[in-house]
Structure 1
C-alpha cells in the first residue's frame, strides 16, 4: 500500500483528487492541467476498493439492471438494446432487463460492456464520486468499460466533459490527440466534426501509452482518444466531470435580467403601430437589457441549477422512520450527504427542497451545516424532528 492509498489518514485529509488521482499537487494540477491539457499519473493509487471483476459479474448477473445502465459496443458501433435485454420473468412486467446470457455471447465475440451511472448502482463508486464532485465543484458520474483482449469498443472521438480514467484490471493502450474543437459544450458532440476528428487521429499523437492497474489519465473535454485492450480483459472506470462553464453562468445572468425586464413597464410596452423598422426599438431595449444585466444577481438561480445536477446521499426510509419514532435527547444526527445545503437569509436551500426558520433556530441550523454529528437536544428536539422528517438530517451512524 502506497502513501497515496486509501488507507493513509493523511490521504483522507488531502482529498481524493490529490491523494488518489494525481501524482502532482492539487495546486499544480489546477494551474497547469485543469481544463487545459492531458495528464498521465502512473501508479496513482490502488483502486481495488472501488471496483473489480467481481463487481462487474454481480452487476450484470444478479442486480436486475435495466437499460440505460448498460451499453454494449463493438468496432465503434453501439449495439441495439434489444440484442442484450429480455423480459424479467413472472411477476415483473419489465421488458428491458439485462440478459446475462446474451451479454456473455457479445462479450465472448469481442464486444465492450459499458456499465453506466455507477454512482447510482455501486456504493464504493458512489461515495468516491460524491467526494470528488465536492472537491471539484462540478458534477461527476462514473462508467465502467470492460473490454475483451485485443478489442476496442469505440473509434477515435472526444467527450463533451472532462474525464479521469482509472485503470482497474488488465492493460489498455490509449492514443490521445489534441482537440480539433476546444472546450465543446454538451450539445456539440464529436460526431458534428467527424471528418476533422478522423484527420487529426491520423496525425502524431500527443500521448501514446498503455495504462496499467493503478494508473490515471486525465483528459479535458475535447481531447481525442481511442483505447484498445491488450493481452487480457481490461476494466477501467471513467469519471466524467460535467463541468460548469462561463456560458452556463451567462445563461443564468441573461435569465435573471429578462426576469427583471418583465417588471419594467418600458420593456413590456407595445411596439409602434405599423413600424417597418425596429432599429430604434432595438437600441432602446439594448440599453434596458444592459441595465438589467448590470443589476441582475444570477447566483441564487445558478446555485439552484447546481443543486439540480446531482442527487443527495442515500436515505433509508425504514431507518429514518425508526429514528423519528424513537427520537430522544441522546439521538445523534448529522446533515445528509451531498445535500448542497445553503442558508440564504432565513431559508435553507437543499437538493430536497427549502425550509424557512425563525431567527432563534438559525444558529442551530448553521451548526448542522458543518457536517458534524449532534445530539438532538443540542439542536432542539422540535428542530431535529423537523429536519429528519424533511430528509435533511439522517442518523449519525448511517
Structure 2
C-alpha cells in the first residue's frame, strides 16, 4: 500500500514575523460585499467618493433588508436571551433605563449565587409602548444572516465590523445628538426614522476623544430614512436619530479601521527585538553611546516608515485577524464529514497563495499553512471563496496532484484548523455547482 504523502504543515504565526507584502483585495466570485447593500452606487464608487469622507444615503426596494432580520429571528433572540449588561440596553430620551425595568430573575435559579436574568416580556413590551428603544449590541454574533454580511464586509474592507440593532415603536429618540469614534453603515430594516446630520464635530476621532465643539443647533440635513434605505456616516460626524411613530428597526454596521497611530505603534514595537531599544536611558545626561544607539534606531524606524513598511504592517494585521466562531456539530466533533458536505474558505481577511518551487504558503488567522506544491490547484479553487461540495473538491487529479484520499484528509485538516468551514447552506450543492458559481 502506497504511503500517504504529508501535504501540509501548520504552525502558529510569530507576532513579529515578516510577511510577504499585503494580501490582495480579491472579493471572490460574488463581488464586493458592499454591492449586496448599496442599490444606487457600486461598492467601488462608494469607496472612492464617500468612504471615510462624507455621508451617503442610498435608496432601494422597501423589503430588500428583511432577510437579515425576520421578526421570528428577533423574537427568538429575545426569548432565549440572558440579559448581559454589555449586550442589551433599553434607552429613552438620552438615558439608559435601569435593567430592572425590563429584565427579571429566572424563578428557582440563582439561590446562593448571582441571580440569572432574562428579558421580561411584559416589562420590555411596556417600555417599548412608552417610547423606549431596544438596543441589542453585537447582534452579528447571534443572527446568522447578519453575521454572514458582517463577515463579508470585514473581509472585503479589511476592517473590524460589529453590528447593533435598534428597535422602537414611539416617537422619542434613544440618544442625544452625538458623534461616534467609528464609521457607521445604517440599514433601515422596517419602518422609518428621522435623521439629522450636523457636520463634523471631531475630525477623525479616536476612542476616548472628547468633542472639540458642541453640536450645532441647526442640522445641515434633515430627512427620513425609509424602509430599504441605507445611510453611511463617517466617524466624527454629529447626528441625531428619532423614530417617527409605528414600527421601526434598523441595524448599524460599525467599522473600525487602523489609523496612523496604530502603524506607529507597530513600528515602535518592532524595535524591541534590537538591543539599541533595550538599554537604560542615561537620566543623568546625554552621552555618545546613547547618541549612536538612537541614530541606529532612527535609521531602522525610518526604513519602516515607508510604503514597504506600511504594506508589511497591513499584511501582519490581516494575517492575525481572527474569524468569528463557526460550529459544525456533530461533524466537527466526530471528524467524519459526509461526501455531500459543502465547504468554503473561512479566512476573515483576504489571503494570497505564495508559491515557491516545491512549497506554497497561506497565512490566515494567526497560522501559517505550508503545503506541498501539488496542492496549488486545489487551493486556488478554495481561494475563490465560493462553496464547494466535498466530493467535487476532492476528486482525483490526473495531473499529478493529490489523490482523492489525500485531498479528503487535507480538507479535513483544514476544517479542524478553521481555515475552512461548512458552507452557508444546509442543502448540499448539486454536483458541479461550484464550477458554475465560480464563473
TM-score after normalising by structure 1: 0.80
1:244 aligns with 2:258: yes
Who is 2:186 aligned against? 165
Deviation at 1:116, TM superposition (A): 1.2
Deviation at 1:334, TM superposition (A): 3.1
Deviation at 1:76, TM superposition (A): 0.5
Q: Among residues 381, 385, 393, which one is paired with 2:420 in the alignment?
A: 393
Q: Among residues 150, 154, 161, which one is paired with 1:129 in the alignment?
A: 150
Partner Cα separation in structure 2 for residue 14 and residue 38 of structure 1: 23
Partner Cα separation in structure 2 for residue 87 and residue 130 of structure 1: 34
* Cα-to-partner distance string for 1:58-95 (whole Å, 9 max, x where unaligned): 32224556443211111111223344333344568762
Deviation at 1:218, TM superposition (A): 0.8
Relative to 1, partners in 2 of residues 1:352 and 1:333: Cα closer, same or farther, differing over 3 Å? farther
* Cα-to-partner distance string for 1:113-162 (whole Å, 9 max, x where unaligned): 00111111111111122222222221221111112221110000001111
Deviation at 1:33, TM superposition (A): 1.3
Who is 2:54 aligned against? 37
User: Contact 2:159–2:257 (CA<8 Å) still a contact in 1?
Assistant: yes
Partner Cα separation in structure 1 for residue 245 and residue 155 of structure 2: 37
User: Contact 2:81–2:119 (CA<8 Å) still a contact in 1?
Assistant: no
Who is 1:337 aligned against? 346
How many residues align structurally? Answer: 371
Partner Cα separation in structure 2 for residue 99 and residue 32 of structure 1: 45
- RMSD (Å) for aligned C-alpha atoms: 3.2
**Which residues in structure 2 correspond to 1:322-361 (within 5 Å)?**
324-325=335-336, 334-340=343-349, 341=351, 347-351=361-365, 353-358=367-372, 361=375
* Cα-to-partner distance string for 1:218-254 (whole Å, 9 max, x where unaligned): 1000111111111313211111112222332232222
> Structure 2, unaligned stretches of length 5 or more?
1-28, 397-401, 427-439
User: Contact 1:169–1:213 (CA<8 Å) still a contact in 2?
Assistant: yes
Partner Cα separation in structure 2 for residue 18 and residue 110 of structure 1: 34
User: Contact 1:156–1:225 (CA<8 Å) still a contact in 2?
Assistant: yes
Partner Cα separation in structure 1 for residue 274 and residue 184 of structure 2: 43
Relative to 1, partners in 2 of residues 1:39 and 1:279: Cα closer, same or farther, differing over 3 Å? farther
Partner Cα separation in structure 1 for residue 152 and residue 184 of structure 2: 16
Describe the SS at the equivalent of 1:317.
Answer: coil
User: Contact 2:34–2:42 (CA<8 Å) still a contact in 1?
Assistant: no
Who is 2:411 aligned against? 384
Partner Cα separation in structure 2 for residue 300 and residue 83 of structure 1: 50
Partner Cα separation in structure 1 for residue 125 and residue 341 of structure 2: 47
Partner Cα separation in structure 1 for residue 137 and residue 155 of structure 2: 21
Partner Cα separation in structure 2 for residue 41 and residue 17 of structure 1: 12
Q: Among residues 176, 185, 201, which one is paired with 2:216 in the alignment?
A: 201
User: Contact 1:147–1:235 (CA<8 Å) still a contact in 2?
Assistant: yes
Partner Cα separation in structure 2 for residue 104 and residue 134 of structure 1: 37
Partner Cα separation in structure 2 for residue 44 and residue 277 of structure 1: 70
Relative to 1, partners in 2 of residues 1:228 and 1:358: Cα closer, same or farther, differing over 3 Å? same
Partner Cα separation in structure 2 for residue 13 and residue 362 of structure 1: 22
Who is 1:115 aligned against? 136
Partner Cα separation in structure 2 for residue 247 and residue 253 of structure 1: 10
Who is 1:263 aligned against? 274
> Structure 1, unaligned stretches of length 5 or more?
1-11
Deviation at 1:167, TM superposition (A): 1.3
1:224 aligns with 2:235: no
User: Contact 1:65–1:98 (CA<8 Å) still a contact in 2?
Assistant: yes
Farther-moved stretch of structure 1 (148-157 vs 377-386): 377-386
Farther-moved stretch of structure 1 (18-27 vs 87-96): 87-96
1:95 aligns with 2:116: yes
TM-score after normalising by structure 2: 0.73
**Which residues in structure 2 correspond to 1:40-119 (within 5 Å)?**
40-43=57-60, 46-64=64-82, 66-90=84-108, 95-119=116-140
Deviation at 1:332, TM superposition (A): 5.9
**Which residues in structure 2 correspond to 1:267-278 (within 5 Å)?**
267-269=277-279, 276-278=284-286
Partner Cα separation in structure 2 for residue 277 and residue 21 of structure 1: 60
